[in-house]
Amino acid sequence: GESVGLHLPTLSVQEGDNSIINCAYSNSASDYFIWYKQESGKGPQFIIDIRSNMDKRQGQRVTVLLNKTVKHLSLQIAATQPGDSAVYFCATHTGGFKTIFGAGTRLFVKA
């Protein structure tokens, strides 16, 4: 069946460094991709999204890259801060109304 996977369950970075979180998806018909951040005890919160007709989108300190050839998605966080410590999920959408989430990567930021 359709799946979304993250390459690493945990990632540890030094404060001030850039973070890169990766995600692979299986369905080449996926047309919309979202990154969510989940802090402890809270629901997931939208960070940034990208549609399949784009390969890069930038937000405030975050960039999402989409490589449809290899079905790979990444989230880059510039100048990582302690407040960025959380679990990050990628999610894909393929027409219709279903959304498939990956298992999540926990980002630890070392001071």
CB closer to other proteins out of 46 and 79? 46
* Contacts to other proteins by CB under 8 A: 4, 9, 31-32, 34, 36, 41-46, 49, 89, 91, 93, 96-104
Give min distance, CB of 16 to other proteins, in A.
28
Give min distance, CB of 31 to other proteins, in A.
7
Residue 22 makes CB contacts below 8 A (sequence gap 6+) with: 6, 7, 8, 72, 73, 74, 105
CB closer to other proteins out of 17 and 39? 39
Q: Are 18 and 78 in contact (CB under 8 A)?
A: yes
Give min distance, CB of 34 to other proteins, in A.
6
Side-chain half-sphere CA neighbours of 21 within 13 A: 34
